[in-house]
Structure 1
């Protein structure tokens, strides 16, 4: 693989990760805003609108996912900090995949399990293929 095609592949993978992170961020923002999708989050224990403390958690999560999306596609590509953030996030997404798979919520199992798994894969791939120096 040439450096040019490797760079394009890395950008494409980072773009997919950022898109997925944007979708999750938007979902969390909608939950925070009162969308009646509680059965699709937090284990499915809250049908309809989430209680206030979970809405606050969703608001913070939305911002965190958005920040991670920006880290994924932005900044200097070869920094140690970026590599660590992406590796750690990939690990957390791996844990999230298992948690969604074990959820009693059918929506979490069918929708969020593959999303979390795809995020774990793409974030790890980006982290592992960053150039040594930008």
Structure 2
């Protein structure tokens, strides 16, 4: 369960960041390729979608560690492997960004998310729940 909690905290921070971008904060150099100081409308919509994706990922993580029961266990397990692959792709996409602030900030964040997703997909959070940790 600590891995799901850590993943949720990082995703909540990213969701806050995305919402701030939607509201027009001049932090665009950290997201979406870093080409815009203030995000244009299409990227703001993308940021809103990102918040929804983060919420879905958190739900899947909590389901995988059996803290909640929304989807069948096998669906949660497979979904977390897809989430892991999504974050690995995110590492690569952030690493090739033309924006140095985005690379320097988001690559480490996405590595953390990928590691946490990997541990959850492997079932380590589930084991902690079974042991009572």
What's the TM-score bracket when you normalise by the shorter of the two chains? 0.7 to 0.9
CA deviation after TM superposition for structure 1 residue 67, in Å: 2.3
CA deviation after TM superposition for structure 1 residue 21, in Å: 1.1
TM-score of the two chains, using structure 1 as the length reference: 0.82
CA RMSD of aligned residues (A): 1.9
CA deviation after TM superposition for structure 1 residue 29, in Å: 1.4
Picking from 84, 97, 102, the partner of 1:103 is: 97
Alpha carbons 1:22, 1:69 under 8 Å: kept: no
TM-score of the two chains, using structure 2 as the length reference: 0.82
Segments of 5+ residues of structure 2 without an aligned counterpart are none
- 2:35 matches 1:45: yes
Q: Distance in 2 between matches of 1:121 and 1:27?
A: 21
Alignment: residue pair count: 121
CA deviation after TM superposition for structure 1 residue 28, in Å: 1.2
Segments of 5+ residues of structure 1 without an aligned counterpart are 1-10
Q: What secondary structure, in the 3-state scheme, does the structure 1 residue paired with 2:98 have?
A: coil
2:80 is matched with 86
Q: Distance in 2 between matches of 1:35 and 1:63?
A: 19
